Amino acid sequence: MRPTVQISLDVTTIDEALSTAEMALRAGVDWLEAGTPLIIAEGMNGVRALRQRFPQTPIVADLKTMDGGYLEAELMHKAGATHIVVMARAHEETIKVVVKAGRDLGVKIMGDNLGCPDMVAGAKMLEDLGCDYVIHHIGYDERRGIAARGERMPSPLDELRQVVQAVKVPVQAVGGLTIEQAVATPSYGAPLVVLGAPLTIDADAFKTASGDVEGSLRMICQKVHAYT
């Protein structure tokens, strides 16, 4: 897989999602993600609005499916998603039916190992059950809770090489990365670079960050796309 840039639209209104997406695509971003806050706030209308505005762009729907997998996959597909996310901590049967839905509907399945006691084993399980991608993910609450206790905040880079070595499907690293760290993930063998909180979204307010976000995104996209 060639290096690809995905922006996570972790905002709470369709208008802001659309304006941020337009800016991101101008900057060279390849994929759009309807982030979990957007889906919670706007439901499938958020995904549908992105599809209507950007008919040719891959769209990830990050509903973080835990149950009712086939139905949720159908709903996201009908709204226009090309990629959907299922959690490794869901029951194995849920992962299986989401994968089946992906095959039936022509949707790619991204398995997320957030919260797995063994992150490498979780990633391998997701691949074994048929997921097309692995998201290696250290969660927002986990990172902040650990930091609040005065301990070192975990990073997806801690085990990224091990996850990449354990699976053959493309890997994405998510969770508190700096711009420099996110841009470097293809050098670990993880070609799908995701940008969101805190890079381009205000992680506390869940709104687009201030400053020259488009300029930063353009620089990031150029660097990521330069990897071979």
The predicted structure's pLDDT at residue 55 = 98
Question: What is the sign, positive or negative, of the torsion defined by CA atoms of 13, 222, 137, 149?
Answer: negative
The predicted structure's pLDDT at residue 220 = 86
Supply the CATH classification number for the domain 4-225: 3.20.20.70
The predicted structure's pLDDT at residue 204 = 62
Place of tokens 């549908």: 48
Record the tokens describing residue 194, joined without a space: 């995701």
- Which portions of the chain are predicted below pLDDT 50? 198
The predicted structure's pLDDT at residue 190 = 98
Sheet with 31-34: list strands edge to edge: 171-174, 133-137, 108-112, 83-87, 59-65, 31-34, 4-9, 192-195
Distance from C-alpha of 6 to C-alpha of 187, rounded to nearest angstrom: 17
Place of tokens 């209104």: 13
Domain ranges of the chain: 4-225
The predicted structure's pLDDT at residue 198 = 47
